[in-house]
Structure 1
Amino acid sequence: MPLRNETVLTIVFVAMLLLGCNAAEKLTSDQTVNSNADTAKANTPASVPNDDGTIPSGTGVEKEKPTAGKANVQGKAFFNDKGAADVEVKLCKTFNQFGGGCTGETFTAKTDAAGEYVIKNVPPDLYEGLTVRVFNTPFYVFATSGVIAAAKYNIESDKTYFAPDSHLFKNDLKVTSPKAGSKVAPENIELKWDAYPEAAYYKVSIHADTTTGAETPYDYMAKRVDDPMVALDKPLKPGAYLPKVEAYNANDRRLAQSSNDLKFSVK
């Protein structure tokens, strides 16, 4: 999917039918991980969510014991398989992923140089949101151990809860053609974008706005390509289309995706 100013803007694809993360803002060039920072080793996550939808604690080494009667929440954030330093992490008592974001009691922390964080002295309770901010942007990702929505976390007294690792990705991949708002002929369409740093390959999807008469080209749903362009081998039906491009590193970690304001029209 990623949250925007406490409002959820989902920043993960759901079987590649994602509505988009509403990431209209451009990320600036200084929104990068300190490559000289120590890389945090991943926690061992719990295998599957519990039947009640809570995410069980993984295992790890406590950085600090919780205060008596309280709990700590400990986890790690990564970008491009390196620890993501100085990013905000938030634990929320209640959470609405469709609007409103965090409400109720909220606890925050920031990651260290290795991407590790500890949210200290948390009252034991059931919490509905654990989010990690995507650097200094207004977008967040969930710490959900493979499930693609907000989750619940049962925080127990006198224990450290080991949260699932969070793998950040940015929304700054730049599509250069077709231009947003442009009208193009149905044949020989080429989708092009700027090569993304350290990307090993890309996944390309073209979503049709069927209300305009457009038809989804299913050959281009999460299509893997190595170069920063793809030439469509079939014409598109007239209507409006939204391209989506994602960049991945050699370990299949998503690095970035294009924004969702790139709709173009076929004549």
Structure 2
Amino acid sequence: MTDTMDITEYLAKGGRLTNPANVPTRYRAELMKIMATFVDSELAGAAGFADVINEGPGIKERIAAARIVLEKTDNADKVLNLMGEFGADTDRYANHHPWSDRLPRDTAPGTARNAHDMRLSVLNYPLHGWVDAVVMNMLMGLAVDVQLSEFLTSSYQPFAEAIRQAAPREKRHTELAIEGCEKLIQSGEIDDIAASVAYWRPRIDPIFGDVPQNRFEQLRNWGLRHRTNGELGAVWRSRLAETLDRLGLTG
């Protein structure tokens, strides 16, 4: 590989990169956006959930919530270290944004809070108590599971490896949320759960918004993306419908 075109052809054929020194400039910019979105979303998600730990109805629930906060923060740290290899100021990064800041609860779906904060838009909205936190974690967890599957075979091998470590943790977070919803249903909280589902579903949906076709094709050629956001969103909506139906929250 002697020039950018050679690298592009190499990536289009399924090649992998393992070192920042071999990464073309435009590829680097897109990879950094993807990694920053992951890091910012994990840190913002952890900060939001940390605020409701003590609202858990029992010790086990609080331990589960604390575990989620710990593991999301650790997931962010692993990918942030990769960003540091590209020159990101990792010491400053964690304190650069007020991760717990949120928009007013009634803000319209899809609204971004800060142009320099790469968190997914849904993480700009506040949690409203324990039931709401569990429901949001379930719906968003199903979305995260789908999104991370897109990066398990990223052409930047160190990032793919970091996601392979993060994905099982995130899947367990989703399972904990589903178990939490089952307990809440048994305790008669079904109306509050349904209200939270109605609140969070339209705020998660925009994270699967369209990417311009020419940009997506370039990302796919580089091995940084594989399926369109429309395809990923369809998988999420199908899994969500199955989960809600299993919990008796449809119909």
The TM-score normalised by the length of structure 1 is 0.21
Work out which of the two has the higher radius of gyration on C-alpha atoms and give 1 or 2.
1
Higher strand share goes to which structure?
1
Higher helix share goes to which structure?
2
Which structure carries more relative contact order (alpha carbon 8 Å, separation 6+)?
A: 2
